[in-house]
Amino acid sequence: MELGFIGLGKMGMNMVTRLRQEDHRIVVFDRAANLVQEAEAKGCIGASSLEDLVSKLSTPRAVWVMVPSGAPTEETIETVSGLVTRGDTIIDGGNTKFHDDLRRAATLQQSGIHYVDAGTSGGIWGLQIGYCLMVGGEAEAVQRLAPIFTTLAPPKGWTHVGGHGAGHYVKMVHNGIEYSMMQGYAEGFELMSKSSYNLNLPQIADLWMQGSVIRSWLLELGASALQEDPKLEHLKGYVQDSGEGRWMLMDAIEKDVPVPTLSTALFTRFRSRQEESFAEKMLAALRNAFGGHGVKR
Protein backbone atom coordinates (compact mmCIF):
# COMPACT_ATOMS: atom_id res chain seq x y z
CA MET A 1 0.00 0.00 0.00
CA GLU A 2 1.04 3.63 -0.47
CA LEU A 3 1.37 6.05 2.45
CA GLY A 4 2.68 9.56 3.00
CA PHE A 5 4.50 9.86 6.32
CA ILE A 6 5.35 13.14 8.07
CA GLY A 7 7.75 13.12 11.01
CA LEU A 8 10.87 10.98 11.23
CA GLY A 9 11.74 11.12 14.91
CA LYS A 10 12.64 8.02 16.93
CA MET A 11 9.24 6.40 16.47
CA GLY A 12 8.55 7.74 12.99
CA MET A 13 11.80 6.48 11.52
CA ASN A 14 11.25 3.02 13.01
CA MET A 15 7.69 2.94 11.72
CA VAL A 16 8.63 3.71 8.12
CA THR A 17 11.45 1.17 8.38
CA ARG A 18 8.96 -1.49 9.48
CA LEU A 19 6.59 -0.53 6.65
CA ARG A 20 9.35 -0.81 4.07
CA GLN A 21 10.15 -4.32 5.31
CA GLU A 22 6.85 -5.38 3.71
CA ASP A 23 7.39 -3.24 0.60
CA HIS A 24 4.78 -0.55 1.19
CA ARG A 25 5.47 2.54 -0.93
CA ILE A 26 6.28 5.24 1.63
CA VAL A 27 6.75 8.92 0.77
CA VAL A 28 8.37 10.78 3.68
CA PHE A 29 8.94 14.35 4.83
CA ASP A 30 10.70 15.85 7.82
CA ARG A 31 12.05 19.33 8.41
CA ALA A 32 15.45 17.74 8.99
CA ALA A 33 16.78 16.90 5.53
CA ASN A 34 19.27 14.38 6.93
CA LEU A 35 16.40 12.30 8.34
CA VAL A 36 14.71 12.27 4.94
CA GLN A 37 17.99 11.04 3.44
CA GLU A 38 18.21 8.33 6.11
CA ALA A 39 14.70 7.17 5.26
CA GLU A 40 15.54 7.19 1.55
CA ALA A 41 18.40 4.81 2.31
CA LYS A 42 15.78 2.44 3.73
CA GLY A 43 13.80 2.55 0.49
CA CYS A 44 11.42 5.41 1.18
CA ILE A 45 10.73 8.19 -1.34
CA GLY A 46 11.88 11.55 0.00
CA ALA A 47 9.90 14.78 -0.29
CA SER A 48 11.26 18.30 0.02
CA SER A 49 8.05 19.80 1.42
CA LEU A 50 4.50 18.90 2.39
CA GLU A 51 3.38 20.00 -1.07
CA ASP A 52 5.96 17.74 -2.66
CA LEU A 53 4.88 14.83 -0.46
CA VAL A 54 1.20 15.15 -1.45
CA SER A 55 2.13 15.50 -5.14
CA LYS A 56 3.97 12.16 -5.03
CA LEU A 57 0.93 10.24 -3.76
CA SER A 58 -1.83 8.81 -5.93
CA THR A 59 -5.49 9.23 -5.00
CA PRO A 60 -7.10 8.33 -2.73
CA ARG A 61 -4.17 9.50 -0.65
CA ALA A 62 -3.36 8.56 2.94
CA VAL A 63 -1.04 10.79 4.99
CA TRP A 64 0.20 9.77 8.45
CA VAL A 65 1.23 12.64 10.76
CA MET A 66 3.78 11.68 13.44
CA VAL A 67 5.09 14.95 14.85
CA PRO A 68 5.12 16.32 18.44
CA SER A 69 1.67 16.77 19.95
CA GLY A 70 0.03 20.15 20.33
CA ALA A 71 0.80 23.02 17.98
CA PRO A 72 3.15 21.07 15.63
CA THR A 73 0.47 18.44 14.97
CA GLU A 74 -2.28 21.05 14.65
CA GLU A 75 -0.31 23.14 12.17
CA THR A 76 0.77 20.13 10.11
CA ILE A 77 -2.75 18.73 9.81
CA GLU A 78 -4.11 22.16 8.90
CA THR A 79 -1.53 22.53 6.12
CA VAL A 80 -2.01 18.99 4.80
CA SER A 81 -5.80 19.40 4.79
CA GLY A 82 -5.38 22.27 2.34
CA LEU A 83 -3.30 20.11 0.00
CA VAL A 84 -5.27 16.85 -0.13
CA THR A 85 -8.66 16.40 -1.79
CA ARG A 86 -12.03 14.73 -1.27
CA GLY A 87 -11.69 11.04 -0.48
CA ASP A 88 -8.18 11.34 0.98
CA THR A 89 -7.37 10.38 4.58
CA ILE A 90 -5.26 12.05 7.26
CA ILE A 91 -4.04 9.85 10.14
CA ASP A 92 -2.82 11.33 13.42
CA GLY A 93 -0.57 8.78 15.12
CA GLY A 94 0.70 11.07 17.89
CA ASN A 95 -0.55 11.74 21.40
CA THR A 96 -3.53 13.98 20.75
CA LYS A 97 -6.37 14.91 23.11
CA PHE A 98 -9.49 13.14 21.85
CA HIS A 99 -11.52 16.37 21.95
CA ASP A 100 -9.22 17.73 19.22
CA ASP A 101 -9.91 14.63 17.09
CA LEU A 102 -13.64 15.32 17.21
CA ARG A 103 -13.14 18.94 16.16
CA ARG A 104 -10.73 18.09 13.34
CA ALA A 105 -12.88 15.27 12.00
CA ALA A 106 -15.93 17.53 11.83
CA THR A 107 -13.97 20.22 9.99
CA LEU A 108 -12.39 17.79 7.52
CA GLN A 109 -15.70 16.07 6.79
CA GLN A 110 -16.97 19.33 5.31
CA SER A 111 -14.34 18.92 2.58
CA GLY A 112 -14.93 15.19 2.19
CA ILE A 113 -11.60 14.33 3.83
CA HIS A 114 -11.43 11.31 6.15
CA TYR A 115 -9.75 11.54 9.54
CA VAL A 116 -8.35 8.61 11.53
CA ASP A 117 -6.80 8.79 15.00
CA ALA A 118 -4.34 6.03 15.79
CA GLY A 119 -3.20 5.73 19.38
CA THR A 120 0.27 4.21 19.08
CA SER A 121 2.09 2.31 21.81
CA GLY A 122 5.43 0.56 21.54
CA GLY A 123 8.00 3.31 21.87
CA ILE A 124 11.44 2.76 20.43
CA TRP A 125 10.99 -1.03 20.64
CA GLY A 126 8.19 -1.04 18.07
CA LEU A 127 10.52 -1.73 15.16
CA GLN A 128 11.35 -5.17 16.54
CA ILE A 129 8.11 -6.22 18.24
CA GLY A 130 5.51 -4.05 16.52
CA TYR A 131 3.21 -1.26 17.66
CA CYS A 132 -0.05 -1.72 19.51
CA LEU A 133 -2.52 0.46 17.58
CA MET A 134 -5.82 1.74 18.96
CA VAL A 135 -7.65 3.13 15.95
CA GLY A 136 -10.61 5.53 15.83
CA GLY A 137 -12.59 6.87 12.87
CA GLU A 138 -15.06 5.82 10.21
CA ALA A 139 -15.07 2.09 9.51
CA GLU A 140 -14.58 2.59 5.76
CA ALA A 141 -11.46 4.73 6.17
CA VAL A 142 -10.02 2.44 8.82
CA GLN A 143 -10.57 -0.68 6.75
CA ARG A 144 -8.81 0.83 3.73
CA LEU A 145 -5.74 1.38 5.93
CA ALA A 146 -5.80 -2.16 7.33
CA PRO A 147 -2.66 -3.27 5.41
CA ILE A 148 -0.69 -0.44 7.03
CA PHE A 149 -1.95 -1.22 10.52
CA THR A 150 -1.33 -4.93 10.05
CA THR A 151 2.30 -4.34 9.08
CA LEU A 152 2.96 -1.93 11.94
CA ALA A 153 1.35 -4.09 14.63
CA PRO A 154 2.28 -7.51 16.02
CA PRO A 155 -0.28 -10.32 15.48
CA LYS A 156 -3.65 -9.22 16.93
CA GLY A 157 -1.95 -5.91 17.74
CA TRP A 158 -4.43 -3.44 16.28
CA THR A 159 -8.16 -2.91 16.40
CA HIS A 160 -10.80 -0.38 15.41
CA VAL A 161 -12.02 0.74 18.84
CA GLY A 162 -14.71 3.22 17.77
CA GLY A 163 -15.55 6.51 16.10
CA HIS A 164 -13.50 9.69 15.83
CA GLY A 165 -11.39 10.24 18.94
CA ALA A 166 -11.88 6.73 20.31
CA GLY A 167 -8.35 5.68 19.38
CA HIS A 168 -6.72 8.51 21.28
CA TYR A 169 -9.19 8.13 24.14
CA VAL A 170 -8.20 4.49 24.64
CA LYS A 171 -4.51 5.44 24.31
CA MET A 172 -5.03 8.13 26.99
CA VAL A 173 -6.39 5.53 29.42
CA HIS A 174 -3.59 3.14 28.42
CA ASN A 175 -1.02 5.78 29.37
CA GLY A 176 -2.79 6.58 32.63
CA ILE A 177 -2.56 2.91 33.61
CA GLU A 178 1.08 2.98 32.57
CA TYR A 179 1.73 5.91 34.96
CA SER A 180 0.17 3.91 37.81
CA MET A 181 2.10 0.72 37.07
CA MET A 182 5.39 2.59 36.90
CA GLN A 183 4.66 4.31 40.21
CA GLY A 184 3.90 0.98 41.87
CA TYR A 185 7.21 -0.51 40.73
CA ALA A 186 9.09 2.65 41.74
CA GLU A 187 7.69 2.63 45.28
CA GLY A 188 8.36 -1.07 45.79
CA PHE A 189 11.95 -0.86 44.62
CA GLU A 190 12.61 2.23 46.72
CA LEU A 191 11.41 0.39 49.83
CA MET A 192 13.63 -2.58 49.02
CA SER A 193 16.61 -0.26 48.45
CA LYS A 194 16.25 0.92 52.08
CA SER A 195 15.99 -2.61 53.50
CA SER A 196 18.57 -3.87 55.99
CA TYR A 197 18.78 -7.11 53.97
CA ASN A 198 21.10 -5.57 51.35
CA LEU A 199 18.86 -6.93 48.60
CA ASN A 200 20.11 -7.51 45.06
CA LEU A 201 17.56 -5.43 43.16
CA PRO A 202 18.61 -6.47 39.61
CA GLN A 203 18.31 -10.11 40.65
CA ILE A 204 14.88 -9.57 42.22
CA ALA A 205 13.59 -7.69 39.17
CA ASP A 206 14.73 -10.55 36.95
CA LEU A 207 13.24 -13.10 39.37
CA TRP A 208 9.83 -11.43 39.21
CA MET A 209 9.92 -11.78 35.43
CA GLN A 210 9.86 -15.58 35.82
CA GLY A 211 6.15 -16.33 36.18
CA SER A 212 5.26 -13.89 38.96
CA VAL A 213 1.89 -12.15 39.02
CA ILE A 214 3.51 -8.72 38.54
CA ARG A 215 5.71 -9.63 35.56
CA SER A 216 5.40 -7.18 32.66
CA TRP A 217 7.36 -5.51 29.89
CA LEU A 218 7.78 -2.46 32.13
CA LEU A 219 9.36 -4.65 34.79
CA GLU A 220 11.60 -6.19 32.13
CA LEU A 221 12.81 -2.71 31.21
CA GLY A 222 13.33 -1.95 34.89
CA ALA A 223 15.39 -5.11 35.30
CA SER A 224 17.60 -4.06 32.37
CA ALA A 225 18.11 -0.59 33.86
CA LEU A 226 19.07 -2.06 37.23
CA GLN A 227 21.49 -4.51 35.60
CA GLU A 228 23.31 -1.58 34.00
CA ASP A 229 23.27 0.58 37.16
CA PRO A 230 21.99 -1.17 40.33
CA LYS A 231 21.69 2.09 42.29
CA LEU A 232 20.62 4.20 39.28
CA GLU A 233 23.35 6.66 40.19
CA HIS A 234 23.61 8.03 36.64
CA LEU A 235 20.02 9.33 36.76
CA LYS A 236 18.27 12.25 38.40
CA GLY A 237 14.76 11.65 39.72
CA TYR A 238 13.23 13.99 37.13
CA VAL A 239 10.15 12.54 35.43
CA GLN A 240 8.37 14.34 32.60
CA ASP A 241 4.74 13.78 31.62
CA SER A 242 3.40 14.00 28.09
CA GLY A 243 -0.18 15.03 28.91
CA GLU A 244 -2.29 11.89 28.78
CA GLY A 245 -2.27 11.41 32.57
CA ARG A 246 -3.62 14.94 33.02
CA TRP A 247 -6.30 14.39 30.38
CA MET A 248 -7.39 11.12 31.95
CA LEU A 249 -7.60 12.73 35.40
CA MET A 250 -9.74 15.58 34.02
CA ASP A 251 -12.00 13.11 32.21
CA ALA A 252 -12.36 11.07 35.40
CA ILE A 253 -13.33 14.20 37.36
CA GLU A 254 -15.98 15.04 34.76
CA LYS A 255 -17.41 11.51 35.03
CA ASP A 256 -17.09 11.23 38.86
CA VAL A 257 -14.76 8.24 38.49
CA PRO A 258 -12.19 7.86 41.31
CA VAL A 259 -8.63 7.38 40.00
CA PRO A 260 -6.50 7.80 43.16
CA THR A 261 -3.57 5.73 41.86
CA LEU A 262 -3.24 7.84 38.73
CA SER A 263 -3.57 11.04 40.78
CA THR A 264 -0.70 10.02 43.05
CA ALA A 265 1.49 8.96 40.13
CA LEU A 266 0.87 12.20 38.23
CA PHE A 267 1.48 14.45 41.24
CA THR A 268 4.66 12.52 42.07
CA ARG A 269 5.93 13.39 38.59
CA PHE A 270 5.17 17.05 39.25
CA ARG A 271 7.14 16.89 42.51
CA SER A 272 10.10 15.22 40.75
CA ARG A 273 10.57 18.33 38.64
CA GLN A 274 10.89 20.71 41.61
CA GLU A 275 14.34 21.17 43.07
CA GLU A 276 12.70 22.49 46.22
CA SER A 277 9.01 22.45 46.98
CA PHE A 278 7.41 25.64 48.30
CA ALA A 279 4.76 23.45 49.94
CA GLU A 280 7.43 21.63 51.95
CA LYS A 281 8.99 24.94 52.99
CA MET A 282 5.53 26.01 54.16
CA LEU A 283 5.18 22.80 56.18
CA ALA A 284 8.55 23.44 57.81
CA ALA A 285 7.58 27.04 58.63
CA LEU A 286 4.27 25.97 60.20
CA ARG A 287 5.82 23.20 62.32
CA ASN A 288 8.46 25.61 63.54
CA ALA A 289 5.87 28.31 64.30
CA PHE A 290 3.47 26.23 66.37
CA GLY A 291 5.80 23.69 67.95
CA GLY A 292 9.28 25.12 67.79
CA HIS A 293 10.41 22.12 65.74
CA GLY A 294 13.84 22.39 64.16
CA VAL A 295 14.28 23.72 60.64
CA LYS A 296 17.21 23.95 58.26
CA ARG A 297 18.01 27.48 57.19
- Name the active-site residue from 51, 74, 138, 178: 178
Measure the CA–CA gap between 92 and 164, rounded to whole angstroms: 11
Pairwise CA distance, residues 110 & 103, whole Å: 12
Partners of 185 in the β-ladder? none
Q: Active-site residue 228, yes or no?
A: no
Q: Please, which residues bridge with residue 89 across strands?
A: 62, 114
Cβ atoms 98, 165 nearer than 8 A: yes
For the question of residue 171 being annotated catalytic, the response is yes
Which residue in 171, 190, 220, 244 is the catalytic one? 171
CB 170 within 8 A of CB 121: no
Write the single-letter amino acid at 202.
P
* Active centre residues (catalytic): 171, 178
